[in-house]
Chain A
């Protein structure tokens, strides 16, 4: 049984407010909040998968910087800016909740309510910070320290999870999904922050191309895209397996997922290597 947690007044009112929304209230009373969070995790994961395809596509426009810049200009309407900012929500939610799942399943952290409280608090902060960058657009990130710290933390996270679970009898792919997830928490959150500290870092072809010449950045992005596509691929496979029992259909779908992810990886890697 979970340890009882004193819910503050603010939290109580948030919960009761959410509990009044139609679909949420139905599942909150019939399956519990964790069930809703799991659906949220799934939907957020799928959103990110969708985004990554689009992302690789737009990045591939960097081969003709003019098209890329034109595209970016086009995307710079209030609607798209808002969407870009809104992306931080599924991102931070999936990341932190992924972290929570890893803690619950593998590190025996059963004080879920406390973890969720932190998740919500940190998530809100993150979304607000990213939002403030959108308004400010003037922070000058110093690339080297930022990325060395981020990469170091990512590797530590990866290592911690690796050591904890590698010896369990779980399937290797399953373990790798957790391990890649752990790596991506700092890496991906850092990526999004970094790209918005200054508008140019993320949207100006010259700046990007300049940065990408750096072999460290290249190497980091390579690792990043591979881990991410594996994680996403296994995630989709995992969802499919929930609905489709073993047999030819499952086999073909699995093949399809592998194919799509490989093609994406090909384009993604080519892009980084060739630019």
Chain B
């Protein structure tokens, strides 16, 4: 077997029945290659079946498992124990739910509510360009696609929104704003006026102060702030 660590997790807990919040400490003997979701599962299995957390794909592709570890919003399914120890230089981890929506229980937040902001930017093609004369696909050069394909990789994990200096009270958030940018840059979108209105809403791009925490925490390594800046610059 590989090396293992004795790690301490201080987890923010919340009970929706009693509405009590508290911090609970767990000590876990964890092999270095376990993901944090595995560690949470281990706590469920061996110590406390009531601890609630969230995940689905468990390989960083769906964005269900965002949590705040030692202040950093990240995907619990992609952080290996050894990387956690390396990155934060500690064996003690403070786990908190993402701050972007109400907490349902412990580490589980109501992402459904957070998604409202993504819905607001209407992520579909509002007014598609007329089809290619041959009746098949619209032609897009790889060069054009490349200017925005990075942004299409966003999985709406909301880590960026949780890290942003602008709170979520009055901001569409980095990811939702970026989803709007994608369509502004997509040559197939003809509803440019409407897209610009979304971009320049009061809760739109002005709420971004280029703090770049979004780019810093994004588990998909998307340079989110770059796309928001393109919006301000009007380059799309």
Contact = CB atoms under 8 A, between A and B. Distances in A.
Interface string B205-236: 11101111101110001010110010011110
Contacts of B169: 242-245
Contacts, number: 111
Interface residues of B, number: 37
B163 A31 contact: yes
B235 A108 contact: yes
A242 B210 contact: no
Interface residues of A, number: 37
A30 B70 contact: yes
Interface in B80-107: 87-88
B170 A245 contact: yes
A38 interface: yes
A235 to B, nearest CB: 10
A244 B170 contact: yes
B72 A31 contact: yes
A246 B202 contact: yes
A169 B199 contact: yes
B166 interface: yes
A105 B234 CA distance: 10
A169 B202 contact: no
B32 interface: no
Say what secondary structure dominates the interface of chain A: helix
A217 B15 CA distance: 66
A169 B204 CA distance: 12
B62 interface: no
A30 B229 CA distance: 22
B202 A35 contact: no
Contacts of A39: 165, 211
A16 interface: no
Contacts of A106: 229, 232-233
B171 interface: yes
B216 A35 contact: yes
Contact of A2 (B165, B207, B213, B223): B223
A245 B211 CA distance: 20
A166 B99 CA distance: 36
A32 B213 contact: yes
State the 10 A-B residue pairs at the shortest beta-carbon distance, nearest first.
Answer: A32-B216, A30-B71, A168-B234, A34-B212, A30-B72, A38-B211, A31-B213, A35-B213, A245-B170, A105-B232
Interface of B: 70-72, 87-88, 163, 165-167, 169-171, 196, 199-200, 202-203, 205-207, 209-213, 215-217, 221, 223, 225-226, 229, 232-235
